Amino acid sequence: LYNLFRKFMFQLEPEHAHHITLSLLSRFPAMGRWLASEEDIPLSLSQTIWGLSFPHPFGLAAGLDKNAEAIDGLLNCGFSYIEVGTVTPKPQPGNPKPRMFRLIEDEALINRMGFNNKGAVEMTAAISNRKRSGIIGVNIGKNKATPNESALDDYLSCLKSLFIHADYIVLNVSSPNTPGLRDLQSETSIVPLVQAVLAQRNILSLEFPGHCPPILVKIAPDLTDEAILSIGSSLAKSGIDGFIASNTTITRAGLHNSSKRESGGLSGRPLQKRSTTVIRLLFEATEGRIPIIGSGGVFTAEDAYEKILAGASLVQIYTGFIYKGPRLIGELVNGVASFLRKDGFQTIGQAIGKATKIAAKH
Ligand SMILES: Cc1cc2nc3c(=O)[nH]c(=O)nc-3n(C[C@H](O)[C@H](O)[C@H](O)COP(=O)(O)O)c2cc1C
């Protein structure tokens, strides 16, 4: 069914297709179930991380449901968690269109959306309106007009607005489409930023006893290996709860489609290897003590399993979901469960990081 749907949608301009799909899923959440394949989820895939129970490790990456408008429909597609956003304190229009491009022969997308979103206040209302329960991560950023010196105010403002609605919170400091944002990854910026957000989270959790969402940082794949190792170990010392590796890349190696010259972040197949390397570096830098969500170019169970062996506890998809639809989730569930069996692992936890130097040491 998705193949037919895709055939029609791929005739349309990418962002237009995106809006139609999201508004369909928002108005008719059951549609997610029609497009998905019914799967029994093997127990070997279930995990409790940050006190949250994930039936399987596959979730939706940030940027598809920027305003939390289609959570129910997306959960019905089979995701075990949905990350909404990136949301900024104030609404903003993002960059001029066109700003999203399909590179079909490369199984990739390029986007320079620029955090188009309706702002934190609208998002709180949208999340409150959902009918289904399910794990919701909220990815937060800063407004384009906010200078980096005041970026912390924007992250704190989003944190305060969305605190009670979020099962986990992601600090996005790695989108290539907000000028200067990625400079926040320098150690002199990221360490105090994370410390201040963690402190505010702890204060808020006293106000709302029993709720203390973990704080994650989403990293760019274009940092040097040394920078990734050093961010990993510094943030581990600061008490960060998790990482997402990685965001989109500004590199363009090996592409065929003529849209390769468009500026923005590249996602999908060409990002697959580098994002897995970033996971491995972070896992090694943190000695496997901090959960990592792997994101970048997952199209098959092999791709996902590679990320788990490199140190990812959870895996997110975006571009693979556009190209393959909800059936990809069923494929990942069955495929990874069978890799675990084949390799003699009873649970996914036993496989995480098994292809890293840390595993070799133990
Ligand atoms: C159109 C588009 C918009 C995105 N917007 C965001 C965003 O707002 N915030 C964010 O953290 N990541 C964003 N991403 C990055 C994805 O969350 C994901 O990390 C990245 O695309 C790599 O995964 P993939 O290869 O499975 O797509 C976006 C990606 C795409 C394709």
- pLDDT score of 4 more than 90: no
Q: How many Cβ atoms are within 10 Å of 188's Cβ, its own excluded? A: 9
**Ligand 1 neighbour 169 (Cβ under 6 A):** no
- pLDDT score of 250 more than 70: yes
Would you report the helix, strand and coil content of the chain in percent, each value rounded to 5? 45, 15, 40
Ligand 1 center to 243 CA (angstroms): 15
- DSSP of 108-140: EEEE-----B--HHHHHHHHHT--S--EEEEEE
**Helical pair 327-342 and 301-309, crossing angle rounded to 10 deg:** 50
Q: Which atom of ligand 1 is nearest to the CA of 139?
A: 11
Protein residue with its CA nearest to atom 29 in ligand 1? 63
Q: What is the predicted pLDDT for the residue at 142?
A: 96
Secondary structure of residue 147 in the 3-state scheme: coil
- DSSP of 31-72: HHHHHSPP-PPPGGG-EEETTEEESSSEEEPTTSSTTS--HH
- Express as a percent the part of the chain with pLDDT over 90: 89
Q: Which atom of ligand 1 is nearest to the CA of 246?
A: 19
Residue 40's pLDDT band (cuts 50, 70, 90): confident
pLDDT in tens, 132-146: 889 999 999 999 999
Q: Which atom of ligand 1 is nearest to the CA of 268?
A: 25
Ligand 1 center to 245 CA (angstroms): 11
Q: Which atom of ligand 1 is nearest to the CA of 18?
A: 1
Tokens, residue 185: 């990854």
Q: How far apart are CA 269 and CA 303, in angstroms?
A: 10
Protein residue with its CA nearest to atom 3 in ligand 1? 63
**Ligand 1 neighbour 62 (Cβ under 6 A):** yes
β-pair partners for 169: 138, 215
**Ligand 1 neighbour 320 (Cβ under 6 A):** yes
Ligand 1 center to 218 CA (angstroms): 11
Protein residue with its CA nearest to atom 22 in ligand 1? 296
**Ligand 1 neighbour 138 (Cβ under 6 A):** no
- pLDDT score of 99 more than 70: yes
pLDDT in tens, 157-169: 999 999 999 999 9
Q: What would the mean pLDDT of 248-272 be, rounded to a whole number?
A: 96
Ligand 1 center to 60 CA (angstroms): 10
DSSP state of 105: G
Catalytic residues: 175
- Express as a percent the part of the chain with pLDDT over 70: 99
Helix or strand (DSSP H, E) at 18? helix 14-27
Q: How far apart are CA 45 and CA 15, in angstroms?
A: 34
Q: How far apart are CA 86 and CA 68, in angstroms?
A: 10
Q: What is the predicted pLDDT for the residue at 129?
A: 87
Residue 362's pLDDT band (cuts 50, 70, 90): low
Of 212, 4, 171, give the one whose Cα is nearest residue 88: 171
Q: How far apart are CA 127 and CA 69, in angstroms?
A: 8
pLDDT in tens, 183-231: 888 899 999 999 999 999 999 999 999 999 999 999 999 999 999 999 9
